[in-house]
Structure 1
Amino acid sequence: MVKGIVFDFDGTLANSLIGGLDAFNYAFETMGLKVPQETEVKQHFGAGADRIFYRLLGNWEHALQAFDHYKVYQTKKLFRSNWHEGIETLLEKIAEHKVPTAIVTGRHSEDLAMVSQHLGLASRFISVVCDNHVSASKPSPEGIFLAAGTLNLKPSEIIYVGDSVGDVAAARSAGAISVAALWDPTAKKESFSEAPDHWAYHPSELWDIFMACSTNANPSPSCDRV
């Protein structure tokens, strides 16, 4: 029986992916490097920006320099994430029913703080697990294991919601119920090489999935990870 919900951040809770790509481009341009194609950067989403720069540059010294420029862009542009439409209503309902909830994000904690301070994550979520809190980025299940522990739940007792195939793979590896969030403009159903347990086209649908999976009478095998 499902008892908690864990969210990805970018593209799931927040409409933040486009601004993030601009910050990557700024870092490469500032260092006098060729700006990679959008697809080259996005294929690494799920990892923190510092790790993405390392994968693209192959050198930690250069990667950390690029990450510094990336953070400068975030500060200069005062780029802030905003909740996706329907998310605030969903979070209010989650709080009203005292459902334990957390975040597992591919963002570095410094990066997340810059774009989300105004959202009050600490008051809405029991824990926030960032990419620099784990030894391996998604699709590793490590972050979901950590989040489940902070909620005092088994991974099989949580739903993990994300907008990428890496999120689905991480949930599956952890033994959690996977929900693919398709409400972000960048999320495409055809991009999922592995089908999730559930699809959600609007945040309101997630609550229906949670209610169905949190009752003992639920008939759907996609809600059973025990």
Structure 2
Amino acid sequence: MMRAVIFDFDGTLADTLPICFYAFQNVFKEFDKKDLTSKEIEGMFGPSETGIIRKNLTNPNKEEAIKFYYEKYSEQHKSLVEINPEILKLLKSLKEADIRTGIFTGKGKRSLDISLKALKKDGLFDVIITGDDVINPKPDPEGLLKALSFLEVNNSDAIYFGDSDADVIAGIRANVFTIGVDWLPEYQTTRFSEQPNLIIKSVNEFKSSFKIGNGENLLHEK
């Protein structure tokens, strides 16, 4: 019986990687005079945005840089990030099936709140664990285990979705059925160092592989 579905956010629930890259590139250009590629920024992923800036920025004005990051993230969100109707419909379908939903992301709470409101996903989740809520970032499973504990759901009764190697490793270490996805235009990897239980390339593929039974309150694998 599957009682909960927990998602990563950037590259999994929303195509927000372009806005993340844009905001970080502006920060490092403004404060360190460095032109970083998306791949270079992706290599810093794990901690929250504030953690990434504090760890990797050489300029001592880190608090000012963090403020600048959120300014850039907010001002260009609408132009760089679109609402994905298929994912929005999936989330609502899970809720209608009485399956609990959550987010476990390395993203910080402030930027996640901006994105959830802009993409009309706020209020759809029973638990949200961000990079601000953990001591050990992904691939450590700390945040996923916290989410399961809050939901009072056993790891055998949950699914975790993610688009990165760190997501998959965290899911496997938490002993949760783990699905690697590349169903959005921007995602982090399709080649995982540890094999997820399943790789899904579209929301429709997930729907055809799993049955959501409203009457039974179950999520069955075919």
Shorter-chain TM-score above 0.5: yes
SS at the partner of 2:34?
coil
SS at the partner of 1:191?
coil
Q: How many residue pairs align between the two structures?
A: 216
Q: Report the counterpart of residue 215 of structure 2 in structure 1.
A: none
Counterpart code for 2:76: K
Aligned CA distance change for structure 1 residues 150 and 209 (closer, same or farther; 3 Å): farther
Instruction: Give, in whole Å, the separation in 2 of the partners of 1:107 and 1:157.
Output: 25
Q: Which runs of 5+ in 2 are unaligned?
A: 213-217
Q: Report the counterpart of residue 75 of structure 2 in structure 1.
A: 76
Q: Report the counterpart of residue 63 of structure 2 in structure 1.
A: 64
Residue 204 of structure 1: how far off its partner (Å)? 2.7
Aligned CA distance change for structure 1 residues 78 and 165 (closer, same or farther; 3 Å): closer
**CA RMSD after TM alignment:** 2.4
Structure (1/2) with the larger strand percentage: 2
Q: Report the counterpart of residue 144 of structure 1 in structure 2.
A: 144
Aligned CA distance change for structure 1 residues 78 and 11 (closer, same or farther; 3 Å): closer
Residue 84 of structure 1: how far off its partner (Å)? 3.2
Instruction: Give, in whole Å, the separation in 2 of the partners of 1:72 and 1:110.
Output: 11
Residue 41 of structure 1: how far off its partner (Å)? 0.9
Aligned CA distance change for structure 1 residues 89 and 75 (closer, same or farther; 3 Å): closer
Aligned CA distance change for structure 1 residues 189 and 78 (closer, same or farther; 3 Å): closer
Q: Name which of structure 1's ranges 134-143 and 48-57 shifts more when overlaid on structure 2.
A: 48-57
- List per-residue Cα deviations over 1:143-189 (Å, max 9, x = no partner): 11111122210122110001111110000111111001111223376
Counterpart code for 1:27: V
Structure (1/2) with the larger helix percentage: 1
Task: Indicate conservation of the 8 Å contact 2:163/2:190, yes or no.
Answer: no
Instruction: Give, in whole Å, the separation in 1 of the partners of 2:84 and 2:46.
Output: 19
Aligned CA distance change for structure 1 residues 75 and 85 (closer, same or farther; 3 Å): closer
Q: Percent identity?
A: 27
Task: Indicate conservation of the 8 Å contact 2:180/2:190, yes or no.
Answer: no
Could you state the TM-score of these two structures normalised by the residue count of structure 1? 0.84
Q: Report the counterpart of residue 33 of structure 1 in structure 2.
A: 33
Instruction: Give, in whole Å, the separation in 2 of the partners of 1:107 and 1:190.
Output: 20
- List per-residue Cα deviations over 1:191-218 (Å, max 9, x = no partner): 3222210011112333444439944xx6
Instruction: Give, in whole Å, the separation in 1 of the partners of 2:67 and 2:56.
Output: 15
Q: Does 1:88 find its partner at 2:85?
A: no
Task: Indicate conservation of the 8 Å contact 2:163/2:189, yes or no.
Answer: no
Counterpart code for 1:2: M
